[in-house]
Amino acid sequence: MSTATTALAGKAARDVRFLDSTIGKKVVMAITGVILVGFVIGHLLGNLQVYQGPHALDVYAEKLKSLPPLLWGTRIVLLISVGLHIWSAVTLAGLQKRARPVGYVKLKPVTSTYASRTMYWSGPILALFIVYHLLHFTTGQAHPQFVEGKVHQNLVLGFQNPLVSASYILAMLMLGMHLYHGVWSMFQTVGVNHPKYTPMLKKLAAAVSAFLVIGNISIPISVLAGVIK
Amino acid sequence: MELDAKIPSGPIEKKWDKAKFDYKLVNPANKRKYSVIVVGTGLAGGSAAATLGELGYNVKAFCFQDSPRRAHSIAAQGGINAAKNYQNDGDSVYRLFYDTVKGGDYRAREANVYRLAQLSVNIIDQCVAQGVPFAREYGGLLANRSFGGAQVSRTFYARGQTGQQLLLGCYQQLERQIDAGRVQMYPRTEMLDVIVIDGKARGIVVRDLISGAISSHLADAVILATGGYGNVFYLSTNAKGSNVTASWRAHKKGALFANPCFTQIHPTCIPVSGEYQSKLTLMSESLRNDGRIWVPVKKGDKRPASQIPEAERDYYLERRYPSFGNLVPRDVASRAAKAACDEGRGVGETGLGVYLDFADSIKRLGKKTIEERYGNLFEMYDRITGEDPYSVPMRIFPAIHYTMGGLWVDYNLQSTIPGLFVLGEANFSDHGANRLGASALMQGLADGYFVIPYTLGNYLASAKLDKVEATHQEVKRSEQCTNEQVKRLLGIKGKRTVDSFHRELGKLMWEYCGMARNAKGLKFAGAKIAELEQEFWQNVNVVGDGGELNQSLEKAGRVADFFELGKLMCHDALVREESCGGHFREEYQTPEGEALRRDDEFAYVSAWGYRGAGNQPELNKEPLSFEYVHLAQRSYK
Amino acid sequence: MKLTLHVWRQKNAASQGKMERYEVEANEHMSFLEMLDVLNEELIGKGQEPVAFDHDCREGICGSCGFVINGVAHGPMPGTTVCQLHMRHFKAGDELYLEPWRASAFPVVKDLVVDRGAFDRIIASGGYISASTGSAPDANAVPIPKKYADLSMDAAQCIGCGACVAACPNASASLFTSAKISHLGVLPQGEPERRERALRMVATATAEGFGNCTNIGECEAVCPKGIRLEFIARMNRDYIQASWLQRQESSAGGVG
C-alpha cells in the first residue's frame, strides 16, 4: 500500500477485556454449553422414569417441587446460562456478518460437518422449541388438556397428538446435531486439543448426542406406539 | 577509476576486529537524527532494517511484494552454513573460509570471506534466540547435515524450508520495529531510481504499485538488498518478481557492476515442459547422494527408461569422474548434463533432461529408507510432473539459480557511490565465481545483522551530510526521468507482450551466455539482444494505465533493464578469457574438458562503469591477491 | 483442453466488480497460474487488461498466490497452493469460478488481488521474540527436546497466504494467528512473552475485522501447509490463561 504501515494505530485496541474478546465470548458459550448439556442429560434421566409406570414421574416431579431451593436454583442457573449462551451467539454472529460482507458466488465446504455449519440455525430453533416446551409441559398454556401436577398424564395426552410428537422429534434431532458439534467444540474452545484425546472427545460428543436423541425421541414414539399409556 | 576495497591491514583473523575498532561511532542519542532507506526485505534487507531500527535509526523499508515476508530468500531449501564445529569433526572458521574461497574458484576477496566465516557463528545464535525452529537431535541440541563442497557437517537446517524460517525470523524482528515506530514499511512499492546529490546517495524514487504514484524518499544513506538478477534468463529458480531494476538504476547513476557473467547453474531442477513454462523448480542437491544420473548410449533413443537395458545406459558422471561420481560440484554436473543433451541423448519429450534414477538405491536400501530421506521431494516432483519417482526415474535439467555478480562494494559493503550500500545477493563480494550450497543465507544475514550496523555508523559519523530538500533539482530530475519512462512504455502500444520479449531474451542468454560460452556466441548474442531491445522499445504492448495496479507495466520496466544487463553480461563473459566456477568459456578448457582458470591474467574483479546508452562500458579492475588460500586447479577425477 | 473461466474482475478497491466469462485453451502440463498467463497473453493481444493476481515464487512457499477455485481456496488438491496446482487435475470442458479471498480485513485491490496487510499487523502486535541483534547466547545453550522443536516447526510452516481466512465461514484469522502463537510459544525462547503475545495478537486480529472461530475446520482442510486446528486450541489456552493472570504492566519495567 502507498502509506507506510505501522501497527501503532491498532495499539489502543489491544487492551481488550476478556468478555469483549472473541475467545472470551466463546468461552462463555462453552461453559454455559457444559451447564446446558449437563441439564439436558439430567432431564432425560429423570424423564426416562416414564417407563417405570404412570406414578413414577408424578412422584419425581413432586419430589423436585418439595425442594424449592434446588428447583429455583437450577432454574436460575439455567436461565442465566441460556441468556449468556444466546448473548455470545448473537454478538459473535454480528461479528461474522461484518467479517465477510461479500460472499462467494460459488462455495464448496471441504471438510466441515453439516452440524457445525448450521449452529447459528439450530441454536435459535432450539430456543424457540424450549419456549414451546415450557408452555407445553411446565406452564400448560400450549397444552389443551393440561392438569397441574399430573405430569405423566400431560405427557401421554400431549404426545398422542402426532403433530406435537413430530415437532418434539424434529427438535431432538436438531439438538443432537447442535451437540454433535457443540460438545467437541467446547473442549476445543477452552484449549483442550491433543492428538491422543481429541479423537476420543469426538466420539464422546457423538455418543452424548446419540444418547440424548434416542432417549428423548423414544418417549413420544412409545406414546404413539401405545407402549406408554 | 581507482578501486579501493578498504581492506583493513593486519593478519586476516584480526581484520574485522581492527575495522570495528577503527570505525567511528554514532552516539545513541544522535542515531535518531539519521534516516536510512533499505530497499528489499529478504534476509539481507530485512535483517538490516530490523537491526538498524533497534539501534535507533529512522528506517524506511521498501519491498515490491505485498508483505516483507515474501522476499525470495523464503524459497531456500537446504540450509545455512556456520563454523560452529558442534559435530567435533574438525570444522573451524578458517576451514569455512578456505572452503568458500576454493569453492568460489579463487575469484572472491579473501578478507570478506574470512569475515563471513567469522560471523557465521553469531548468525546461528541470533536465529535460535529469535525462535527459528532448526532441526534438533533427540537430546535437544542442534542437528547438522553435510553439503556439497565441504568435508564437515556444518549446515543447519529447518526441514526443507530453511530460507523460510530464517526469513520469518528476521521478518518478525522487522515487524517488531515497525510496531515500535522505528521502521516505516512500504510494501508494494518499487524502487526505480537512486537520487545522488553532491556525489552521495541521498534517496530513492519509487512507484506505488497500487496507485501508480511516483514519489521520492530522502535519507542520509541508502541500502540496496534487492537480490540477484537470474531472471535475465527468463526461466530460473528465482521468483517471478525477482529483478535487477534497483541495482541497475543504481549502476546507471554511477555504481560499478562487478562480475556480471558469474551466474550459478543448479544441476537438479525439474525440466521445462513447454513453451508456456513460467518458472523452474529446484530439487534439492541432496538427491544426488542416492540417485544415479544417466542418459541412453544411443542418440535419440525414445524408449521409456524401463525398457533401456543396463548395457545401453551411460552413467556419464560415474564414467568421467570415477572418484566423485554423481557428487561432483554444481557447475561440473550441469555442464556434463548439457553436453549429453547437446549430443542428442537427452530424455523426455523435449530432449532437454537426464535421468536421476533411484532404482538401485531402492533395491539396496528399501523404499522406506528412500521415502524417509526424500519423501517430500518425491512428492513435490510428483505434484509437478505427475510421475512417480519411486517407479520411474526422475528427469532433471540444470537451471539458473543464483548470481554471484552484482554491484561492486568495498569491505564496508559500500558501492562506488558514497552512502549507497549493497547487501546480500545484490552485491558481488563473497562467493567468487561459484557459490557453495548453504552459503547464500549465511551471507545475507551476516551482511544485514552484523556488518552494516557497524559500517553504516562509520559512514554517517564521518560523512558531511547537508540537509536535502524535496525540492532539490536532482530530486525533481530523477522523478521526472522515472515518470517519462513509465509514459514511454505505456505509449508504445505495439504488437508484442512483455513476456514474449522476456522469453526471447532469456533464450538468447541461456543459449549463448549460459552453461558454456564462446567468443562467437557471445558477440552474436550481444548484437542480437541489442536488436531485440530496439524492437522492444518500438513494438511492446503495455495495456492499462500508469495510475493503477498494472502488472504488465511493472514487468516492462524490469525487462527493459534486463536487456541492458544482458548485454553487459555477454560483454563481461567475452572479456573474461578463462573458465572459472560458473563461467565456462569453451576456448579455455583442459584437454579433459575441465575449466581452465588463467590466474596470471584474470585474477581480478571486473567492475564495469556505465557510460551511457549505446556506449561500451568501462572496465575497472580490482586485483585479487591470495595470501592465505593457495591458488590451485580444482580436480574431481 | 478447452476451459471456461468465470473470473472476478474489479478495477480497484473503490469500484464494483463482477464475474466475467473467458475461454482458454490449456494443456495438462501447465500449472494453474501458467494457464492464466496464457489467458493474459491473449487478453493483452486483444488490447484488454490482463487478469491481475498475486504470485511470486511459484513453488508454493512465498504465500503470495491464492484465490478461490470453484468454491475452494487454492482449488481442489489438498496441501497445494494454486501455483503448484496443475491442469492435469482438470478436464476439458470444465467450468471454473475464480474469486478473490473474501473478507472485510482483506479488501480487494484488483481482480484476484487482495490486501493482506492485516496479517502483517497481527504479527507486528506480538508475533515475535524480542531478541535484539547481538544479545543472543550460544545456540546450544538451551537444549530443546526434539518433539517441541518439531511441533514448533509444524506451526512455523504457515506461509501467510490467507486461505484459512478465505475458507472460514466467519472469515476468522484464528489458524494464522494461532500458528504464530504456537510456533513461538512452544519454544523456551518464546516463553517470557507467551501470554502477552496471545493477548495482543488475538485482540489485533479482532480489531482488524476478522471473525471468530467456530471450530468448523475448513481452514485446516484448505491450508496448503497442513497447519492444524490443534494450534487454535493452544492459542485459546494461552489466551485464557493470560486473561486470568493479566495485571497492569509496571511502569518500572522495560516495556517502553
Cβ-defined contact of B131 to C31 (cutoff 8 Å):
no
Q: Smallest CA–CA separation between C91 and chain B, in Å?
A: 15
Tell me: do C73 and C40 sit in the same domain. Answer: yes
**Which chain C residues have a beta carbon less than 8 Å from that of A15?**
203
pLDDT of B593 strictly over 90:
no
Contact B542, B489 (CB under 8 A): yes
Cβ-defined contact of C236 to A116 (cutoff 8 Å):
no
Q: How many CB pairs under 8 A join A and C?
A: 164
Q: How confident is the model at residue B299 (pLDDT cuts 50, 70, 90)?
A: very high
Q: Give pLDDT tens digits for B442-464.
A: 999 999 999 999 999 999 999 99
Cβ-defined contact of B548 to C11 (cutoff 8 Å):
yes
Q: How far apart are CA C67 and CA B252, in angstroms?
A: 39
Q: Is B330 a catalytic residue?
A: yes
Q: How far apart are CA C247 and CA C80, in angstroms?
A: 43
CATH code assigned at C186: 1.10.1060.10
Residue C11 pairs with which residues in a beta bridge? none
Quick check: B28 contacting C, CB < 8 Å? Answer: no
Tell me: do C194 and C234 sit in the same domain. Answer: yes
Parse chain B into domains and list their residue ranges: 266-401, 473-602
> Which residue is closest to C25 within chain B, CA to CA?
B276
Quick check: A3 contacting C, CB < 8 Å? Answer: no
CATH match of B266-401 with 4.10.93.10: no
For chain C, the chains sharing at least 3 beta-carbon pairs closer than 8 angstroms are A, B
Element (H, E) at B533: helix B519-539
B130-135: average pLDDT: 96
Cβ-defined contact of C243 to A119 (cutoff 8 Å):
no
> Which residue is closest to A3 within chain B, CA to CA?
B186
B184, B210, B211 ranked by CB distance to A4: nearest: B184
Quick check: B181 contacting A, CB < 8 Å? Answer: yes
Percent of chain A with pLDDT over 70: 94
Cβ-defined contact of C149 to B136 (cutoff 8 Å):
yes
Tell me: do C141 and C83 sit in the same domain. Answer: no
B180-201: average pLDDT: 97
Q: CATH assignment of B473-602?
A: 1.20.58.100
Contact C72, C81 (CB under 8 A): no
Q: Phi then psi for A227, rounded to 5 degrees?
A: -70, -40
Domain boundary among C109, C137, C164: C109
Residue C79 inside a domain? The answer is: yes
- Residue A93's CB is within 10 A of a number of other CB atoms, namely 18
The one catalytic residue in B330, B345, B395, B597 is B330
C69-78: average pLDDT: 97
Residue C249: per-residue pLDDT: 59
CA torsion, ordered B374, B380, B382, B388, to nearest 10 deg: 0
Domain boundary among C76, C109, C142: C109
Residue C255 inside a domain? The answer is: no
Domain boundary among C93, C109, C125: C109
Q: How many CB pairs under 8 A join B and C?
A: 214
B60, B179, B188 ranked by CB distance to A1: nearest: B188
B466-483: average pLDDT: 96
Q: How far apart are CA A183 and CA B387, in angstroms?
A: 44
Lowest mean pLDDT among B130-139, B333-342, B605-614: B333-342
Quick check: B544 contacting C, CB < 8 Å? Answer: yes
- Number of structural domains chain C divides into: 2
Quick check: B236 contacting C, CB < 8 Å? Answer: no
**Which chain C residues have a beta carbon less than 8 Å from that of B276?**
27, 30, 34, 37-38
Quick check: B52 contacting C, CB < 8 Å? Answer: no
pLDDT of A124 strictly over 90:
yes
Contact B402, B263 (CB under 8 A): yes
Strand ordering across the sheet containing B221-224 = B183-186, B58-62, B35-39, B221-224, B420-422
pLDDT of C39 strictly over 70:
yes
Q: How confident is the model at residue A13 (pLDDT cuts 50, 70, 90)?
A: low
C30, C31, C133 ranked by CB distance to B51: nearest: C133
**Which chain A residues have a beta carbon less than 8 Å from that of C124?**
6-7
C19, C208, C229 ranked by CB distance to A188: nearest: C229
Tell me: do C124 and C59 sit in the same domain. Answer: no
Quick check: C155 contacting A, CB < 8 Å? Answer: no
Cβ-defined contact of C109 to B210 (cutoff 8 Å):
yes
**Which chain B residues have a beta carbon less than 8 Å from that of A13?**
none
The amino acid occupying position B601 is: E
Q: Give pLDDT tens digits for B326-383.
A: 888 788 889 899 999 999 999 998 899 999 999 999 999 999 988 887 888 898 899 8
Residue C251 inside a domain? The answer is: no
Cβ-defined contact of B130 to C37 (cutoff 8 Å):
no
Joined together, the cell numbers standing for residue B244 give 535487477
Q: How confident is the model at residue C256 (pLDDT cuts 50, 70, 90)?
A: very low
Instruction: Classify B620 as helix, strand or coil.
Output: strand
pLDDT of C255 strictly over 60:
no
* Report for A114-123, A161-170, B266-275: range of highest mean pLDDT: A161-170
pLDDT of A11 strictly over 80:
no
Q: How confident is the model at residue A12 (pLDDT cuts 50, 70, 90)?
A: low
Tell me: do C125 and C81 sit in the same domain. Answer: no
Contact B406, B428 (CB under 8 A): yes
Quick check: B211 contacting A, CB < 8 Å? Answer: yes
Cβ-defined contact of C133 to B86 (cutoff 8 Å):
no
Residue B150: per-residue pLDDT: 77
A11, A116, A195 ranked by CB distance to C216: nearest: A116
Q: How confident is the model at residue A7 (pLDDT cuts 50, 70, 90)?
A: very low
> Which residue is closest to B179 within chain A, CA to CA?
A7
Q: Which domain holds residue C230?
A: 117-245
B67, B74, B141 ranked by CB distance to C57: nearest: B74
CATH code assigned at C101: 3.10.20.30
Residue C87: per-residue pLDDT: 96
Residue C250 inside a domain? The answer is: no
